[in-house]
Amino acid sequence: MAEKHPSPKRNQPPASQKRPSTQAFVGDYMGAFDQQTARDLEFNAIRTLLLGYCHNPTAQERAQNLQPFRNRKRMVRALEETKEFLQIRRECLPFPAVGCDEIHREIERLSIRESVLSEPQFMRLRVASETINEVLAALKGRDAMNPRIFYLLRNVLSTTELIDPIDGVFDPKGQVRSNASSKLVSIREDMIRVRRSINRQFIRVMKDCGERGWLADTKEGFINDRRVLAINSTHKRKLTGTVLGQSNNGSITFIEPGINVSLNFEMEMLRDDERKEILRILRELTQKIRKHLPLIKAYQVLLVELDWMRAKVQLAQDMGGDLPGLRSDSGFHLIQAYHPILYLQNEKAGLKTEPQTLALHQKARMLVISGPNAGGKSITLKTVGLLQTMLQSGLMIPAHPNSEMGAFDAILTDIGDNQSIENQLSTYSYRLNRMKGFLEVADGRVLLLLDEFGTGSDPELGGALAEVFFEELYQRGCFGVITTHYANIKSRAAQLPHAFNGSMRFDRESLEPLFKLDIGTPGSSFTFEVAAINGIGDDLINRAKSKLDGRKVRLDELIGELQKEKNTLSKITDRSLRKELENEQLRAQLEASEAHVEERSIQQQIVAEEQNDALNRGRRLQQFVDRYQVDSKNKELFEDVKKYLAMERSKMDDATKATIAKRKASAARAPKKRPKHFVDRIQVGSIVRLRNGGKERGEVIELNPRHALVLFGAFRTRVELEKLTWVAH
């Protein structure tokens, strides 16, 4: 028996879930996110990818107009819904495909009084109802594991009140059944009778015309659903009938045999009766379905949401996306984060993509990245901005799930060589105009992403103005990632307490960028090294060096040497750490082997002692057996046996007491446990080092009750907690 759905009032979806217009919920979205920012961060490419995964128009419209939330609650809800759907996919649950067609046109038709649904519309409603029933069956009992998705299901229920009446009228092919009404049965039986008569008489006339040689090669055809003979035009007047057409060249005339004219007319009348009866049946069925309109509206809302979530999950799976930890404040800690577009491109080309790990928080909120051109500065900056935009738009991001991210009220970008042709602005004028807008909204809830900060004007004058802008943005509490070649910006970042420098690694030996970010030191622009890579001769490079202040050249060389030594040290540290970990593993294996050998030795000794005792008891028992006399009294023998058994029992009791006493004494003499090196303080994000004298510090990026996954520089390894010492959070 079908379950009855709730009353229309309960089933009416809330206003927030009705099919929204593009401009709905403007207050929930990030107001300062403009099209230029979307282009700067390549967010339009993410929209396009997402659009390709959407099945229905409403989801496609959402993808095209996707923008980041400013309302944190809506952001969290969207992320948690997607995470739950992603978890369902990862668990390979028997979840149905949710790409069926939308039913908003059916809803519009049902909302008009006396309207009638068409055959395809009834079938779409049936598929929608069946899909929702399958979704409910797949998620049965998972309300605790999928609370967000279950909330979306609150207005629907498993029922066959739509499916049963539709199946009573339509067959599996979507055609109206003959038994849908008694009148339709009678009409179709008459149609079969008339059609047989038409075909029987047609075949007889065609055979006669064929024998007379009147038929063309094609013999017959159909015109206006009537079976006609193909007669050579020279014989057309010899056949009684109605001419319904000719071939293009006029050589063939299509004639309806006169004997079938009345029958074909009768067939037309029956077809008309059939159409009227089907319309009556569909009108009656529409009235039944219209009673469930609130439930059907809830179906539409849910189908749109499921299609949208499926698209977001498909995107996440393709780029290795996941949900990081969500912070209540602004800032982020990205671990092993990838630029999604670059990752997908490199994955397709079989190339490796270097992930980045960096963090911004209240005490370190402005990062200045320097280094060589084509070294990855802009990609790192775009990675931060694009991942933040994706997260606040409700999308998973390609970063380690132990990453943490907060939300910003605005993301402001100035990336690339932009000009405003409309307003006749140069690149520098455009940037000044954009900076003016930034200064109007900048505060502690804003993320700034400025590429090649201060360029476009005289280096000294532009650098001075850029430094003033930098100080002003810093004073307003902004978060930011800034790339620059200006030494004064690097220097100022080192002086301000909540700003810090970073640099992109560059291999001076191979003259190739390494695309890895180092935090804490500014980087050289490697101007002359990059020039050498691009084929500029040594004589020109040396002439250029001679025109500079020697101190400037020497400083740049020192920074380059420092970075080279840092790269070398990093490689040595990684090798040393690997060897240290290998030695630790070998030491643990050796200790385990020694303990195993010692345990085996003790066990063998115990077995030998037990066997020796058993042998002695056997000999003593044999003596008793030898003394036993069958035909005489053995009273003395039995007394000796009792004494022996009592003595053996006493020995066993004494041995047990001695063992217990020995354990107590051993426990009393045992040294106190060594300190745990604050193991209980270790959590994700903690700074740790190896306990056995290791000096290299690492960051815990994953944790379980026994092991921690630690990031030492660029090297990741899993270590037992008891082998780590907590250093700081």
User: Is residue 234 located within the same domain as residue 304?
Assistant: no
Q: Which residues, 6+ apart, have CB-to-CB distance to 57 below 8 Å?
A: 102
User: Is residue 333 located within the same domain as residue 311?
Assistant: no
- C-alpha Rg value of the chain to the nearest Å: 42
β pairing state of 410-414 and 446-450: parallel
What is the distance between the terminal CA atoms of the chain, rounded to a whole angstrom? Answer: 60
Burial code of 568-580, b = ≥16 C-beta within 10 A, e = fewer? Answer: eebeebeeebeeb
**Which CATH number belongs to the domain containing residue 702 in this structure?**
2.30.30.30
In a domain, 231, yes or no: yes
Category of 610 on φ-ψ map: left (φ > 0), alpha (ψ -120 to 50) or beta: alpha
pTM, rounded to two decimals: 0.68
In a domain, 633, yes or no: no
pLDDT score, position 683: 84
Q: Which residues, 6+ apart, have CB-to-CB distance to 301 below 8 Å?
A: 13, 17, 18, 19, 152, 155
Burial of 524 (0-12, 13-18, 19+ CB in 10 A): buried
User: Is residue 314 located within the same domain as residue 371?
Assistant: no
In a domain, 398, yes or no: yes
User: Is residue 311 located within the same domain as residue 334?
Assistant: no
Instruction: Tell me which residue range forms the domain holding 297.
Output: 8-14+32-162+292-319
pLDDT score, position 3: 42
What's 7-72 look like in SS3? CHHHHCCCHHHCCCCCCCCHHHECCCCCHHHHHHCCHHHHHHHHHHHCCCHHHHHHHHCCCCECCH
Residue 473: C-alpha distances to residues 54, 114, 329, 407, 482 (Å): 40, 64, 19, 19, 11
pLDDT score, position 47: 95
Category of 374 on φ-ψ map: left (φ > 0), alpha (ψ -120 to 50) or beta: left
pLDDT score, position 219: 85
pLDDT, tens only, 19-68: 333 333 345 778 768 888 899 999 999 999 999 999 999 999 999 999 99
pLDDT score, position 467: 86
- ∠ Cα 717 723 727 (to 5°): 85
User: Is residue 154 located within the same domain as residue 39?
Assistant: yes
Residue 108 to residue 161: CA distance in whole angstroms: 20
pLDDT score, position 616: 79
pLDDT, tens only, 293-313: 999 999 999 999 999 999 999
In a domain, 314, yes or no: yes
Is the distance from CB of 700 to CB of 684 less than 8 angstroms?
Answer: yes
Is the distance from CB of 519 to CB of 358 less than 8 angstroms?
Answer: yes
pLDDT score, position 570: 60
- The count of domains in the chain is 4
Residue 351 to residue 595: CA distance in whole angstroms: 47
Residue 419 to residue 431: CA distance in whole angstroms: 8
User: Is residue 433 located within the same domain as residue 491?
Assistant: yes
In a domain, 638, yes or no: no
SS3 121: helix
User: Is residue 344 located within the same domain as residue 313?
Assistant: no
User: Is residue 331 located within the same domain as residue 441?
Assistant: yes
Of 519, 547, 575, at which residue does a domain stop?
A: 547
The residue assigned the tokens 């994953």 is 702
User: Is residue 500 located within the same domain as residue 352?
Assistant: yes
pLDDT score, position 458: 58
pLDDT score, position 9: 38
In a domain, 424, yes or no: yes
In a domain, 228, yes or no: yes
In a domain, 23, yes or no: no
pLDDT score, position 712: 74
Residues of the chain where predicted confidence (pLDDT) is lower than 70: 1-27, 32, 373-375, 416-428, 454-460, 506-513, 523-535, 541-578, 580-582, 584-585, 588, 666-677, 692-695, 713-716, 729
User: Is residue 188 located within the same domain as residue 148?
Assistant: no
